[in-house]
Structure 1
Amino acid sequence: MAALAAFVAANTRLQAPPHVPEIRLHLADEAVDLWHRTEAELETIGLPPPYWAFAWAGGQALARHVLDHPHLVAGRSVLVFAAGSGLEAVAAVKAGARHVLATDIDRYALAAMTLNAAANGVEFAMSGADWIGAPVDGYEVVLLGDVFFERPLADRVGAWAASAVAAGALVLVGDPGRSYLPRDRMDALADYRVPTTRALEDAEVKHTTVWRFRG
């Protein structure tokens, strides 16, 4: 883990996401450069691209919503799926969550989350397991930031989110209009205009919605 953390620290800069300025994260300045270098270095061991190095619009909106509406998580147990940088996990802790578990299958994401938790003076649990399909018993809130960007993943996450709702969890989704977002299964809670970068997105500001998943 030390080597992974060193890689994260060497290829990022501690900075505040534009829509959540009260949180500081290790983020990449040159998105395309890091993306290509990381892909080249990790290709032989099958690790995914460095989603952890960027504050995606859906995650920023979801973190903003949690911070502005702390009653959603205060005193509750929270599961953050595909947590990446850990932005939503940090926000949940700051909003008063009783327990937070941030999950991501990328070991570099876990290293980034460790650094980012320390940078913000917070603590939360982490897991590298694939949680899709796993029961969420004991977790009262599930946070999904920007995860509906491809069909196979969207179908799996949608079914899992429905099972979480059936188990009694509040499932919140942050999304900037990805193609495979199941809007017919969700209720919109709030809209945000999130600054982003054209190196990653098709606009410098993304209209992003926080949704409640119905099931």
Structure 2
Amino acid sequence: MIDDPEGFVTRNTSRRSAPLVPEILLHLADAVMPLWEMTEADLERQGIPPPYWAFAWPGGQAVARLILDRPELVKGKQVLDLGAGGGIAAIAAMKAGAAQATANDIDALALAAIALNAAANKVAVDVLDRDLLDDPARGWDVILAGDLCYEKPMAGRVMGWLRAAASRGTTVLLGDPGRAYAPADGLYKLGDFAVPVSRDLEDRDIRHTAVWQVLPG
């Protein structure tokens, strides 16, 4: 375990905005491969996952952009950012007037990045550091999920959980840039965005990314 997660995040990132959401400052990796290789080589032995928190993935950017453009989706509501990474969607929710935003991740470095990013944007974001997918989603009016359908087992768990939450009346928003395991039905499109991305992370320069409302299942 890293003794000083916030120090690690600060040393390995710089503070700047994501392309689609210039209103929000994030601690982002300056170069993709050095941090990724460090995580795989040295940190993997400590049980630390890849540094998803260090990059502004297109699904999260698209969800954040939609919320900032349509604040009525979250204004005055209790919001959960599931698998939050650096917390861009939770931060956008607070900037758009949410009553409370909780950013959930199981990576200690992600939680440190969320705290730093929230402070950089002068908003309060709660953090929740456990796997939520084995329990019913309760207590949130809106659930946000960005770019969580990149692996088949995870996509299956996430979508089952999100559809169950939608069936209980929660508004569920999913940002997805066409990942292989995203669902093909049971969704209502709320927006489309062209998100500039790094060739080190993606196979193209622009990811056309949709934000969907997940329908009850």
TM-score range, shorter chain: over 0.9
Unaligned runs of 5+ in 1: none
* Equivalent position amino acid for 1:207 in 2: H
Q: How far apart in 1 are the matches of 2:78 and 2:135?
A: 16
SS in structure 2 of the partner of residue 6 of structure 1: helix
What's the CA shift string for 1:29-74, capped at 9, x where partnerless? 1011110012222111212100000000010011000000000000
* Equivalent position amino acid for 2:47 in 1: G
Trace 1:29-178 onto structure 2 (pairs within 5 A): 29-178=30-179
Q: Which runs of 4+ in 1 moved over 6 A?
A: none
Q: How far apart in 2 are the matches of 1:154 and 1:185?
A: 14
Q: How far apart in 1 are the matches of 2:51 and 2:98?
A: 27
Contact 2:39/2:48 (8 A) holds in 1: no
Contact 2:64/2:93 (8 A) holds in 1: yes
Q: Normalising by structure 2, report the TM-score.
A: 0.97
Contact 2:86/2:114 (8 A) holds in 1: yes
SS in structure 1 of the partner of residue 203 of structure 2: coil
Q: How many corresponding residue pairs?
A: 215
Unaligned runs of 5+ in 2: none
How far has the Cα of 1:2 moved from its partner? 6.6
SS in structure 1 of the partner of residue 38 of structure 2: helix
Q: How far apart in 1 are the matches of 2:115 and 2:134?
A: 25
SS in structure 1 of the partner of residue 143 of structure 2: strand
Give the stretch that moved more between structures: 160-169 or 48-57: 160-169
How far has the Cα of 1:163 moved from its partner? 1.0
Identity %: 50
* Cross-structure match for 2:6: 5
Contact 2:192/2:209 (8 A) holds in 1: yes
Q: How far apart in 2 are the matches of 1:133 and 1:212?
A: 22
Q: How far apart in 1 are the matches of 2:104 and 2:3?
A: 19
- The alignment's C-alpha RMSD in Å is 1.0
How far has the Cα of 1:134 moved from its partner? 2.0
* Cross-structure match for 1:188: 189
What's the CA shift string for 1:102-143, capped at 9, x where partnerless? 100000000000110110001011011001132222201000
Give the stretch that moved more between structures: 130-139 or 56-65: 130-139
Q: How far apart in 1 are the matches of 2:56 and 2:196?
A: 10
* Equivalent position amino acid for 1:99 in 2: Q
Q: How far apart in 2 are the matches of 1:41 and 1:79?
A: 32
Q: Normalising by structure 1, report the TM-score.
A: 0.98
SS in structure 2 of the partner of residue 23 of structure 1: strand
SS in structure 2 of the partner of residue 142 of structure 1: strand
Q: How far apart in 2 are the matches of 1:78 and 1:133?
A: 19
Contact 2:167/2:215 (8 A) holds in 1: no
Q: How far apart in 1 are the matches of 2:147 and 2:136?
A: 21
* Equivalent position amino acid for 1:80 in 2: D
